[in-house]
Each structure stands twice: as structure tokens, then as C-alpha cells.
Amino acid sequence: MSTTDTPLRIDGLSKHFGGLTAVDDLSFEVRDGEILGFIGPNGAGKSTVFNCIMSVYGASEGAVYLNDEDVTGWDTHEIVNHGLARVSQESNPIDTMSVEDNIRLFTLPNSPFAFTGGADHEEIVSIADRVELADKLGEMPGSMPHADVRRLEIAKAIATDPDILLLDEPFAGLNQAEIRDLSEEIREFREEGMTLVVVDHNMKGLMALVDRVIVLNEGRKIADGTPEEIADDEQVQRAYLAGAV
Amino acid sequence: MSESVTAVEEESSENVLGRVFNAEANRYQMGFLAVAFLGLITVPMWNPGWTYVFAFANIWVIFAVSWDIISGHTNYISFGHSFLSGLAAYTTALLTFNVDPNMSIYITFPVSVAVAVVAGLAFALPSLRLSGPYFSLLTFVSVLIATKAVYIFSGYTNGEMGISTVSVLTFDNTEMFYLTLVPALLIAAILLYISRSNVGLVLKAIGQNERAVESAGLDTTRFKLWGFIYSAIPMGVGGALLAHFFGNVEPIAFLIVDRSIEMIAIAAVGGMGTILGPVGGAYLLIFLRDELFRAFLGPNARWVALWSVVLILLVTSPDGLFTRFWRLLDRLGGGGSE
């Protein structure tokens, strides 16, 4: 649980790629303990925002505050160790390592002199159990079905024991039953005290899950409100499929 | 109290090894390691004629495992590790040749290792920006520059002839064998421990996907820097040891890029990223080159034979002979892992 009401705050964030403005003076905050939906059509700049937050790219302007501390320009590993974890859209497990070692990697102490430490087998089992992977610890990621690889990505993120978890398109490629299971797991994370931000380009699937929605279009925030408010918002409907939300 | 003492006494050597090296070896694998170890430490007894070659191979064990801890794990493939060992050897030689011929080994040795560490950091810094072939090329070029520098500054280095003011550790082959065996096994054991530890896991993960390691909250820059230091320290020890092995430090045996390529070949033939593989690879290739092929072949033909063997092994066992053999023993023991 965070010590502040706004564990993550974005202030005037812009990102330019050459002449293209991917994110334009974006400000928003994430409230402690909420599940925030972060939606927008493809190309709206959602992933760019997250890449800036995680310092995959440097922000062109603006600042990122994590637990009220300015973390703009910090290294990715410093941001992770400050309580923010991200499950990115692309899975990137270490294919030559078992599921267990993949998770263990995310629990290791950040020191080249720490030859021991990190989660033991029981702790890894309990992490994997939260995403129903406990019986697959010995498998290699390359031989697992897509949904299990996505579960592994989430297990890795929660293994860093984050206050805030960013989930980038977590439902992509999952079937209805898998989406239901994952939604349930996300709610459980929140009950355990985590704050969550769920990114999706599809509003429909998110509405039942999230407390609040921010809508991004062409790098700008065009709406911010409860799912019901957002569903009725004209600007959002225009941005999205000409009203067919 | 007495119960716990008994429990400790009852703990088999396998468990101790397993705990320290994080390895799950079956009895065939343990048996193989035990036989190889006993065979190795008794070489001067069962074949005194091989003692010198094996003493030389001991030093190459140091080079191969040192290369392996960084390049075999992180996939930052160094084509220039003889730069590190060569610089250490030349430091020892230059100090005795240009400063004081009687300078104590207790001074020259640590200074040489320190120089190798500085050289290792010189490799590490570009690795923070360059990877793949660009990094490899940079390491390669540094050897080329260093080799030419030896000739340019031949007033200090004595050029091609080399510097022969370095004291030879001993002229007794058996003594030389053990004086090189002990540091070789010690270094191999330490690097095996690191390889099987958290740090080894991180280095291997860096070799697969550096950005994913960052998102695990791990400072890849710091791990890489220390990986190079963990490699450079023993490279310095090996280089200085080799100087005291021959007593003469010249570019061919110590520095030229062929030596760097041999380190890679040894590690690859044994099994990259396994530490134990390069240990076996060093004894195998040095024995073939300097004992077996030397007995039948001329000075050029034995190199052709050696590199042909390396080629064949790389094609037939790309994961390394040791890795292959280890898996075979694993299957014999009924294990299904990997």
C-alpha cells in the first residue's frame, strides 16, 4: 500500500519523435488503490506514455512522480525498485530459462555481490500460484501456450512486489474464459493493496473491471471519469469507431 | 547438539557440492567429476612426460573460464581477451626489464592483475553502448593495437624477441604443474560458484534480453561492469602466471589475436556458459595441440589439425562437448532435466 493518495502522477508529459508528437502535454494522476482504465484507439500514444513512465524513452517535456518523488529520467531498474512494475504488450521471457528461474530473476537483489538471496522455491510457488502457474514452474516459456506466457509476464511483475502495476493490453489474444480469470486476478491484486492501471484499446472489456477511465486520443487526454460517464461522452464516441462503443 | 553434529557428518559430499554450486548432479556425473579430478591431480605420477603440457594447460584453464564468465554468460563476445592477459604479462615483464630486475613478485603480480582490471574496465565501458559485432570488433582492435605497440616501443619491450628478465617459477615440471594447478582449480571453482549463483543467472539473462533484466529491477550496467571485473582479475592472474611460466614475454605467445581466438575456441568446444566445459576444453585442445599433434605433425600442420578438430566439434556439438556429455550422464542417471 502506498503512503500517498496519488502514488503515480504525470505532469505535462510530452513526447516528440522528430516532428511527430506522440504525447501532447498530458497530465493525470493515479489514485491509491484504484483500478484505472487507460484507453484510446490504436496509435493514441498509450504505450508511449508507459514507455516514458518506465524510462524506456526519455520524456521530451514534463515530469513523472512516483509516491510524490520526481522520477523523471531515472533508470528503469530504479523505477521498478521504487514500486512500479509494468507488464508490457510484448512478452519477453528468457527462453533458455525455466518458468521458475524467469520468476526468480525478478526477485534477485540488485547487487553484483549478492551471490545468494532472492525468492526460494516456496516463495516462487506462491507467486506463481497467484496467476495459476504453480504447476508449470519446470516448463520452458517457449513451449507454453500464449495465455501461460502472459501469466508468466504478470508473475514476473508482481514478483518485484510493486505498489503500482501497469498492465499494457493484458487481454490481447485471450479467450473469454481467460479474460474472466485474469479480471478476477486483477481484482485480487487490488484487494491485496495494489494500485492498477490497465491499458486497452477496447473499452468494452474494461468497463466492468475499472473504477475510473482516462481516454487518450492523438496524444491528448480527452476524457476522465467513471465508466458510465465515459460511455456517454460524445467526444469519446467520436474518437472511437464513430460512436460504436 | 550431538544430533546436529551427526547430521552434518552424514551430509554427503554431493549435498555440499550441490549447495555450494547450486547443481543437481547425479552419481554418474559426480563419479565423472571425481575421476577427472583424481586423474588430473595425479598426472605427474601416471605420465610424467605430460606434466609440462598439463602445467601449460592449467594456465589456459584460467584464460578459458575467465573468458567464459563474461562472454559465455552475457553474450558480449570478446575477441580480445589476450589483451587483458597480455597486458598483465607485459606489466610483469616491463617492470623487471625497465625498472628493477629484482623487483619482488609480490609487487609485480598484484600490479599486473590491477592493470588487467583496468584493461577489463576499458572493455566494459563500450559494452554499455555497443553490443553484438560492434563490441566484438572493439575488443579485437584493442589486441591489434597492443600488438603493434609492442613493436613500436621495442626500446622498452624488446619487440619480437621479448623480455626475458622475468623469473621462472621453477624448472621442476612437477612443481610447475602444481603451482599452476592450484590457482587454476581455485579460479575455476570460484567462477563456477559465481556462474551458478544469482549473479551468474543475471549475467546469463543479460545475454538473452537486457531490457527484460532492467524491468526486473536489476542494474544491468553495474552487473556488466562487475562481470568484466570478475573476468579481468583471473585474466590478470593467468597472464602474470604465464610470464613466470616461460620467463620470456613476447607478442606471439602472450598477445596476438590468435591467443584470443583460442580462448573462444576452448570455451565453445567445452560448452559456453558452463565454466566446467571450458576447463575440459582447455585440457583437451592444449593436449591435442602440444602433445598429440606435436608428436606426429610439423609446426604448421598441427595448427591445421587443431583448427580442423575445432571446426568439426563446433559443427557436431554446437553446445559443447562437456554439455553434451553431461546430458548423456544425466540420461544415464534417469534424469529428465534438459
User: Which residues in chain A show pLDDT less than 70?
Assistant: 1-3, 241-245
DSSP, collapsed to helix, strand or coil, labels residue B103 as coil
Residue range B187-196: mean pLDDT, rounded = 97
Backbone angles phi, psi at A225, to 5 degrees: 180, -170
- What is the domain partition of chain B in residue ranges? 32-332
Integer CA distances (angstroms), B184 to A126, B73, B92, B146, in order: 41, 20, 19, 26
What digits encode the pLDDT tens for the residues B19-74?
666 677 888 999 999 999 999 999 999 999 999 999 999 999 999 999 999 999 99
Cα torsion angle, B240, B243, B249, B251, sign: negative
Across chain B, what does the average pLDDT equal? 92
Q: Does B209 touch chain A (CB under 8 A)?
A: yes
Facing residue for B209 by CB, picked from A76, A78, A92: A92
Q: For residue B145, what pLDDT is reported?
A: 96
The architecture (CATH level 2) of B32-332 comes to Orthogonal Bundle (1.10)
Measured in angstroms, the CA of B4 and the nearest CA of chain A are apart by 23
Q: Is residue A107 part of a domain?
A: yes
Q: How far is CA B66 from the centre of its chain?
A: 4
Enumerate the residues of chain B whose CB falls inside 8 A of the CB of residue A104: 201
Q: For residue B220, what pLDDT is reported?
A: 95
Facing residue for B198 by CB, picked from A93, A115, A160: A115
User: Model pTM?
Assistant: 0.91
Q: Are A7 and A58 within one domain?
A: yes
Enumerate the residues of chain B whose CB falls inside 8 A of the CB of residue A109: 198
Q: Is residue A88 part of a domain?
A: no
Domain boundaries, position A144:
94-161
Q: Are A41 and A76 within one domain?
A: yes
- Determine the residue of chain A that is closest to B22 in CA distance: A116
Is-contact A165 A8, C-beta < 8 A?
no
Q: Which DSSP string do the residues of B222-283 spell out, in sequence order?
A: HHHHHHHHHHHHHHHHHHHHHHHHHS-B-HHHHTSHHHHHHHHHHHHHH-TT-SHHHHHHHH
Q: Are A156 and A204 within one domain?
A: no
Q: Are strands A69-70 and A61-66 parallel, antiparallel or unpaired?
A: antiparallel
Residue type at A64 in one-letter notation: V
Q: Is residue A14 part of a domain?
A: yes
Q: Does A121 touch chain B (CB under 8 A)?
A: no
Q: For residue B19, what pLDDT is reported?
A: 62
Q: What ipTM was predicted for this assembly?
A: 0.91
Return the higher-pLDDT residue of B169 and B299.
Answer: B169
Q: Is residue A89 part of a domain?
A: no
Q: Does A75 touch chain B (CB under 8 A)?
A: yes
Q: Are A121 and A6 within one domain?
A: no
Interchain contact, A81 vs B217, CB within 8 Å: yes
DSSP, collapsed to helix, strand or coil, labels residue B303 as helix
- Determine the residue of chain B that is closest to A54 in CA distance: B215
Find where cell 514478483 sits.
Answer: A159
| Maximum Cα interatomic distance, chain A, rounded to a whole number of Å | 57
Q: Are A183 and A242 within one domain?
A: yes
DSSP, collapsed to helix, strand or coil, labels residue B59 as helix
The number of folded domains in chain A is 2
Q: Which of residues 188-207 of B touch A (CB under 8 A)?
A: 193-194, 197-199, 201-202, 204-205
Q: For residue B1, what pLDDT is reported?
A: 39
Q: Are A152 and A172 within one domain?
A: no
Q: Are A149 and A114 within one domain?
A: yes
Alpha helices by DSSP H, listed for B100-172, are 105-127, 132-152, 154-157
- Given A161, A176, A204, the domain boundary residue is A161
Q: Which residues pair with A69 in a beta bridge?
A: A66
Q: Is residue A142 part of a domain?
A: yes
What digits encode the pLDDT tens for the residues B127-185?
888 888 999 999 999 999 999 999 999 999 999 999 999 999 999 999 999 999 999 99
Q: Is residue A31 part of a domain?
A: yes
Q: For residue B11, what pLDDT is reported?
A: 46
Measured in angstroms, the CA of B137 and the nearest CA of chain A are apart by 26
**Crossing angle of helices A176-191 and A146-159, rounded to 10°:** 10
Q: Are A196 and A126 within one domain?
A: no
Measured in angstroms, the CA of A223 and the nearest CA of chain B are apart by 30
CA angle B203, B206, B208 (to 5 degrees): 120
Measured between alpha carbons, how far is B265 from A96 in angstroms, rounded to an integer? Answer: 22
What digits encode the pLDDT tens for the residues B105-134?
999 999 999 999 999 999 999 888 888 899
Q: Which residues pair with A167 in a beta bridge?
A: A87, A198
Residue range B187-206: mean pLDDT, rounded = 97
- Best of A87, A99, A106, A164 to disrupt the B interface by mutation (most B CBs within 10 Å)? A106
Q: Are A78 and A195 within one domain?
A: yes
Q: Are A172 and A156 within one domain?
A: no
Measured between alpha carbons, how far is B286 from B288 in angstroms, rounded to an integer? Answer: 5
Q: Does B228 touch chain A (CB under 8 A)?
A: no
